[in-house]
Structure 1
């Protein structure tokens, strides 16, 4: 008899009674308590070619891609899904939700770009023994920072232009209307000055 950790791809395909083309290319591991609502929502999103690998997970098709979703809470339950599908050949795992958050200040919509993780979840040390913390891929971190910064600058600039347009139409505006723009650290100082000079 094989133990869980010894299962191969073929063993999992047989245990789950699936064909190879049912394996998702990417899997979302969502950390949140409200599993019923989350699973119901994702059942609507992943309607095509749907199958249920376990009580807290669903696999289906989205824009012709096979995608998996699991509602997980805590390292062990996240690992149970991630391990199985990593062995099956799923290439990308995306973690969302607030589990693993270390601060009450973090709110929905906040973007965290993780540079390192402490292995204190009760699971990680079995996959990468004697290593803590684990560092994120530096190139990936830099690309993520760049992407978020560009999006944030674009959003701020778009808000600025829209507000400026409204103020111009009503002939009533001042630079005090844009405090976020003045203090946004990721805009170089000379760009902020150029924007201010528009009025």
Structure 2
């Protein structure tokens, strides 16, 4: 495809195209991914601690390489191609989700931590959103309504794998919100009154993009902030809580890899 002097692909008429109108082939060429080597899963993680998280996650993969776009790493696990990207917030998560969903990656997996509105939820419990209030500021541009849903099959598989690793889980009506900071006590009270159980900054966006391109999405989020108790990431955890949080974070990534393996097998058998 011809490239403009500004560095962007051109349409047949020579005018610049908006990214939402790009074809998958543009991404394939830009990333250097051969047809048939699209990853079985994209694993997205929302966290401030990008360097630490990326190092820990990539240590589990083999043949790791950074793709042409920064912070997007391809590797393999049990001979299955996987891409990992640390992407904080909806505005960032939408980009790798869009690229790999358009390339036909069958499963988008969101992991990370979340805040809970449940007074009984302990640190380290893993929230599995079933439906998600899409208030992230991005989802509606991909055709989402007020709520989006996770894929029921992959939700069940995630739950089974996590429980098999002795990780406590809870299905939830979940909220994706644009900012960790723009949350007041009154807002949290209102969300709890709606029946919302947990909050993150990426899940509904990833689900909306998956729906737009006809692929699947699932989210596994470890409880950290306990909003009914006034505890945020600034407050130190008790040793037992910190240990549960660390263990669940590790197991969530292990399960993400197990789901990727299943997605790869399902694709090869289709």
- Using the size of structure 2 for normalisation, the TM-score is 0.48
Are residues 1:135 and 2:149 paired? yes
- State the superposition RMSD in angstroms: 2.9
Aligned to 1:164: none
For 2:60, the equivalent position in structure 1 comes to 45
Relative distance call for 1:137 and 1:13 in structure 2 (3 A) is closer
Q: Could you tell me how far apart the structure 2 residues matched to 1:137 and 1:16 are? A: 27
| 1:180 counterpart residue number | none
Contact 2:58–2:64 (CA<8 Å) still a contact in 1?
no
Partner of 1:87: 102
Structure 2 gap ranges (5+): 1-15, 167-270
Q: Which has the larger radius of gyration?
A: 1
Structure with bigger strand share is 2
Give unpaired runs (5+ residues) of structure 1. 153-199
CA distance in 1, matches of 2:165, 2:42: 25
Hey, what's the Cα distance between the residues in 2 that align with 1:33 and 1:140? 27
Alpha-carbon contact 2:40-2:107 (below 8 Å) kept: yes
Q: CA–CA distance in 2 between the matches of 1:136 and 1:24?
A: 20
Deviates more, 1:117-126 or 1:49-58: 49-58
Question: Does 2:31 correspond to 1:16?
Answer: yes
The secondary structure found in structure 1 opposite 2:128 is coil
Distance 1:90 1:70 in 2: 14
Which structure carries more helix by proportion? Answer: 1
Between the aligned partners of 1:30 and 1:49, the Cα distance in structure 2 is: 17
Report matched runs for 1:5-84 at 5 Å: 5-48=20-63, 50-84=65-99
Quick one: distance in 1 between partners of 2:164 and 2:32?
A: 45
Aligned residues: 151
